[in-house]
Chains A and B, each alone.
Chain A
Amino acid sequence: MDLPLRRTLHQLRNTRDLRAEILSLAASLLVTRAGGELIVTDPVISPATVRREWQQLLPALAADLRGRMTLVIEPPAARIGEKRSDYDIGGILQQLQKPNYRFEILRQLLRADLGDAGPQSVKTLLDAIGASQTPIRAALAELIEAGIVRRRGRYVGVRAEEISAELLAKLRAAPQILRYRFERGAQIKPPAVLLQRALALLGPSAPAGWQDLALSGVAVARADVAEFDLLGLPRLDLLVQLPRTAQTFDPALLRRLDDGLEPEPSLLATAPVVVTVARADAALLRDAPVDGARSARSVDVYLSLLEQGLAAQALQYAKAVRA
């Protein structure tokens, strides 16, 4: 039986974050049969408001989803000494979704397409992703049935130009994406400043936890393609390569980038830092780093461009890296 997904909102201050977390949890349940639990601990707004918002929003969700979702409101834990409820220092891990094999398959096939390696055998896919055959073959069958993956004998392949963010969402083949925002009161650093700090963290002697992270997105696209058609850096994109068995991600890692970064519960809000989670066994990182920093390969850069709505630039990028 699947383990339930748990999301925790600590010291919830507004209903906007609550709605965003409810929708985020619902979206996570689309790719699993597990239940979903939203835990609201020590809310600043009243528990009655939290319950009312929950009851108002849930009917808008599909019955299958809302039937698996539960709300838990926990009062503040008793603390010794000075009251510290207004400066909780975090420490809450982010729950990871189960590996999405639709995404992992497309990622491997896109990598081959962008590298002009052509269609791949199913065995190659199985080896790269590393999971057991059954879920991968099932996911592959769904992608073939949807018409996005084409079979040629024992080989399968995709064309990067036929992939879009909307299609990935529709096929439930989008990766898990962790978004981070600046907490209230924090000094906001522009993405270019965050990039400079990330470069220091992604060097050969990365601090603990950062060995799994790599630079991605526009910063790498611009380094790969001199004529890349975008000025400025809209956000900092990172890729994290985690084992398939990993269940949590520690957002404290991101505090090295800036102390004020915290998880952004809204899927729709603009986030200055975005981390895409990849779960395949085969690490797809550069042999040669960009600006001395460990970097994602072109497939993940391409996908991150799509995800942030830069479809035209993604196509330009795909064309350039193939050349």
Chain B
Amino acid sequence: MNALAPLDAAELLARVAEQISPALRAHVVVVGSIAAAWAFRDVSGTDAVATKDIDLLLRPAVDAVTTATSLGRMWLDEGWQPQFTHGRRPGTDATPDDDLPALRLRPPGDKTGWFVELLGEAPPDQITRKHWRRFATGLGAFALPSFRYLCVAVHRPDDTEFGLRVARPARMALAHLLEHAEPDTTPIAGLPGQPPRFVKDLGRAVALWWLAQQQSPLADRQWLAEWHETLSALYPDQVALLKTAAARGVAHLVDHLRAAHAIALNSLLAAHGTTLQAYARAHASLGELVERI
């Protein structure tokens, strides 16, 4: 697990944007913790993030590999340092795509320890939960992971003053709910107790919803409007089906709230000390919100 030192969201976004040419910024959407910290920067304590990985989604899907290749080469040439987990190293022509590492790079000379991780928008025909696409760098081959419902998370992102676009919390939460309608039970090796992936992701959806309610007493209207718009735009013929899927996602967490809460307290909710009781209420009301889609 990464050392958890709070970093300022705006400062991080500015630093990342500096490292991406203006031409490429249009193809990048920031997702994950930093996107949440940015969206909730007006909620006391949430402007700082207790995470150091900055997830950059590259799009459109058809150009994602090309963009990853350009960014990877440019950053490696500038002396960025690759980060490897689980003993994975850059692959060769013989390495299967699924065994390739994702490209995680730390900028040279930065002492705060943040790094970027590249993700790709899923191709429209992707059915599997996760798909790896190979791309080459001077160090060897890496893979660009694509998650099935990340297109939901990055639909109509917010513009920022830094030229980067940032995913909105309501859509990130919906993406998690849809992704785990059939829960991904893969253990997360980097977390204590190695909880299943769905506990972390669905728990994050609950944390985002709790923060949204802190930000506005009318958050439910905003989230519902965004969910309606997103589902209607991306899946116009499947709204009812996906509503049911999202409800299943919420339900899967019901017996794992304690674990999800513990994970959230070390990430998105680190500054808030949200009680388990409040977290459980947020889970219940998130379920009610899904029912209102």
Contacts and interface: CB of A to CB of B under 8 A. Distances in A.
Interface string A234-261: 0000000000000000000001110110
A162 interface: no
B193 interface: no
Interface in B236-293: 254-258, 272-273, 275-282, 284
Nearest to A256: B217
A145 interface: no
Interface stretch (A24-32, A63-71, A171-179, A182-190): A182-190
Nearest to B218: A200
B280 A87 contact: yes
Contacts of A197: 216-217
B220 interface: yes
A89 B255 contact: no
B278 A260 contact: yes
A2 interface: no
Residue from B213, B258, B277 having most chain A Cβ neighbours under 10 A: B277
A292 to B, nearest CB: 13
The secondary structure that dominates the A interface is loop
A183 B277 contact: yes
Contacts of B255: 81-82
Nearest to A82: B255
A259 B220 contact: no
A87 B284 CA distance: 12
Contact of B277 (A81, A87, A201, A256): A87
Nearest to A198: B217
Interface in A252-304: 255-257, 259-260
B214 interface: yes
B150 to A, nearest CB: 29
A186 B217 contact: no
A255 B278 CA distance: 10
Nearest to A197: B217
B210 interface: yes
Interface of B: 44, 210, 213-214, 216-218, 220-221, 254-258, 272-273, 275-282, 284
6 contacts: A84-B257, A84-B280, A197-B216, A197-B217, A201-B217, A207-B220
Interface of A: 81-82, 84, 86-90, 183-187, 197-198, 200-201, 207, 255-257, 259-260
Query: Which 10 A-B pairs give the minimum distances between C-beta atoms?
Result: A185-B275, A87-B277, A87-B276, A87-B280, A89-B281, A256-B217, A82-B255, A197-B217, A81-B255, A89-B280
Given A186-B278, A256-B217, A259-B282, 14 more contacts: A81-B254, A82-B258, A86-B276, A86-B277, A87-B276, A89-B277, A89-B284, A183-B275, A183-B277, A187-B273, A207-B220, A259-B210, A259-B213, A259-B214
